[in-house]
Amino acid sequence: MGKAEEIINQLKNLDATVTRLGHIAALLEWDQETYMPEGAVEERASQSALMVGLHHEKIVDARWENLFSELGYDGSANPEGFDDVGTAFLRESYKRWKKQTRVPRNLVENLARETSLAQAAWAGARKADKFSAFAPNLESIIGLEKEYAAAIADNSDADAYDTLLDEYEPGASAGEISTVFDGLAEGLRILMDKIRSGNAPETGFLEKPYDITRQDAFGQRIQNFMGYDIHRGRLDLSAHPFTTTLGPDDVRVTTRYDEKLVLSGLFSNIHEAGHGLYEQGIGQNLRNTLLADGTSLGIHESQSRFWENTVGRSMAFWDRWFDDFKNLFPENLANVDVRSFYRAVNSVQPSLIRVEADEVTYSFHIIIRFRLEQALISGDLKVADLPGAWNDAYRDLLGITSLNDADGCLQDVHWSVGLFGYFPTYALGNLYAAQFTRAMEKDLGPIPALLGSDRADAILNWLRENIHVHGRVYSPGDLCRRVTGESLDSVYFLDYLNGKYAGVYGF
């Protein structure tokens, strides 16, 4: 074994400890959102702060600096003699170490403590429909996030929001995303005008009560069809659906059901399983390293949005599954045919709730949040003014306003847990998904032909071979070019929507 290889092995041993501590911290967070009793919030906040502090301590351990120095690696260029995986491991571990050495442990612990408390405060405020009960927590988190951004920034002039955004979508900037989103919004407005001129589908049968036990049974069947391995994960309920990785063979998803919103539960099952499939498909050679993760949240969202929309809202999917669904709910669907159901599933109607939005208006929800969180971080928007600004933005982009906080600025958990910079990745995921789909169809043929069986193996295998297996080895831009041959372009998403909804609405 050469000296360089020996040093890499030592770095990987350090990283394995960091990775496992991260999984333990994630387990505490998963439990808080699923089974933890309400009275345990204060103690859990202390536990989370301690665990995150230990995690941070291992990341900034002096041995990292010594080993990088021995190797002669300073992050400025690709090292010689390493393959793509080795190069990526050095690049990502050095970048993480360099950032985190600038962050005081007490700041890391304060963030963990405050977000744990804020998450509970958010849940209570949402239930009580009272933003003012959560506002002090949000003020505190924004202050800590700005402090964190200042600590990890490469220079003192760095924009705080861009710094936070880089944590979720490496290499992206708010300016670039704004340009993409402005073009996307314009294309969506044109499409909405066409949809308004078309023939709207009947949706009344989706507004009836659907038994939750049967919803759950069907949702689990679809997750199995997709290929989600329940022996390496589990499905639970939470106030806000999410996916978390507690180890290479422990990728958990959650959902929520409402008897009057049957599609909300089903598409939550599909969406989160899409995330879970990505994590379960990461290469064995990346296990217990920081590369065993999605390369960015935009790429991660491309997987969940692909399964939820490109597959789950397609005619081919319902040609295969409608009879099964109808047999579960004969009281609601006795006189409904598959074409009518498909059109109803793809009904376009501006709505208040992001996670229940159709795929045409969904990106407007993201653009609103992207603009608002930029303003919160910059200080241009005060926390106390958020409910009013939220309603103004919804009136401008979607033509509706919320009559309460629960369906307005309290509907998402993200800001309560400090995820500033996360929201734009949802819309980027839509764009990546459409572009990846075009590349997939070049290799496999039309997706409808792949959905007629009891398994979606051909689709899943393509995603695993081209995207999942690589984890974080490639940057999001490099992965996109590797898979599709070109950089991210919103034209594929707009083409997909225009083609599909011309058929649904007949315009």
The residues annotated with a catalytic role in the active site are 272
| Residues 499/434, Cβ–Cβ less than 8 Å | no
Q: How far apart are CA 327 and CA 316, in angstroms?
A: 18
Q: Closest Cα to residue 111, out of 70, 141, 82?
A: 141
Q: Token pair 């597959």 is at which residue?
A: 311
Burial of 380 from C-beta contacts in 10 A (0-12 / 13-18 / 19+): exposed
Q: Torsions phi, psi of 237, nearest 5?
A: -105, 145
Q: In the chain, what's the furthest Cα-to-Cα distance?
A: 73
Q: How far apart are CA 40 and CA 47, in angstroms?
A: 10
Q: Token pair 């964190």 is at which residue?
A: 148
Q: How far apart are CA 354 and CA 344, in angstroms?
A: 18
End-to-end CA, the chain: 67
| Residues 190/497, Cβ–Cβ less than 8 Å | no
Q: How far apart are CA 370 and CA 367, in angstroms?
A: 5
